[in-house]
Amino acid sequence: MRVDAALRDARSRLVSSPSAALDAELLLCHVLGKTRTWLFTWPERELDAAQQACFQSLLARREQGEPVAHLTGEREFFGRPFRVTADTLIPRPDTETLIEAALSLPLPANARVVDLGTGTGAIGITLALEQSGWKVVLVDLSEAALQVAKANAQVLGACVDVLRGSWLAPCEGPFELIVSNPPYINESDQHLSEGDVRFEPHSALVAGDEGLADLAEIVRQATGKLVAGGWLMLEHGFDQGDAVRGLLVDAGFDAVRTERDLGGNDRVTLGQLPA
């Protein structure tokens, strides 16, 4: 089967996916060890029997809803490939809003930064690579997730420290910046039974108090682990901007604001501890 024919067949099979064409291309790139550009440069190339069998197997699993990132074992974030497993959340483009906001802050060249609930390490590792002078710590309660983060840091050449524990408990601090993409989905949210999240760790997605419990706990802990003038930055749900801003204001943070994601939704709220 030719490359172009394989892609046409795959797109028709993945019609239930909102990104059927991209899914097909990424899976075929994975099978062939080629780039998407190669697929369209050489559409007449033939897949051998082993490649066809592997591609068909991956398509069948994708038809059952398995995330493409789990099938290929990686997901791109901020232009870099991150290893992904079922023990971690899949990095998403909306989280790049947090990276851009963090990089725009007036932090010292040797800023101490901690990424809480790091998962794949995408946030903390990206910050460490974008600002090589920053001293970045990755924290997660899951040992399996930390192993993924460590592997990503090594492959990407990021110099980070890794600690196991709940939020800021294992950290000495103080920090100039605390960032986190914690669980923030309401346990009754119907979207938990749809799409990729069905295959991601429940503990990394869901929080009590209508999704605000972990966000509130991080805010509570952060006031004792930030330097005067330090920043706290939190990713949250599209409809939680008001609530998270309220948490930060109530905790005494200044300059509280919310950044919007690629879809124009409230996504990242930050505030500064008074000097």
pLDDT in tens, 29-43: 999 999 999 999 999
Domains and CATH numbers, the chain: 3-64 (1.10.8.10), 84-272 (3.40.50.150)
Three-state secondary structure along the chain? CEHHHHHHHHHHHCCCCCCHHHHHHHHHHHHHCCCHHHHHHCCCCECCHHHHHHHHHHHHHHHCCCCHHHHHCEEEECCEEEECCCCCCCCCHHHHHHHHHHHCCCCCCCCEEEEECCCCCHHHHHHHHHCCCCEEEEEECCHHHHHHHHHHHHHHCCCEEEEECCCCCCCCCCEEEEEECCCCEECCCHHHHCHHHHHCCHHHCEEHHHHCHHHHHHHHHHCCCEEEEEEEEEECCCCCHHHHHHHHHHCCCEEEEEEECCCCCEEEEEEECCC
pLDDT in tens, 175-216: 999 999 999 888 767 666 567 777 777 778 887 888 899 999
pLDDT at residue 245, rounded to an integer? 98
Residue 16 — very low, low, confident or very high, per pLDDT cuts 50/70/90?
A: confident
pLDDT at residue 202, rounded to an integer? 75
Tell me the pTM: 0.91
pLDDT in tens, 125-165: 999 999 999 999 999 999 999 999 999 999 999 999 999 99
pLDDT at residue 193, rounded to an integer? 58
pLDDT at residue 27, rounded to an integer? 97
pLDDT in tens, 61-112: 999 989 999 999 999 999 999 999 999 999 999 999 999 999 999 999 999 9
pLDDT at residue 199, rounded to an integer? 73
pLDDT at residue 251, rounded to an integer? 97
* More confident of the two residues 16 and 3: 3
pLDDT at residue 116, rounded to an integer? 98
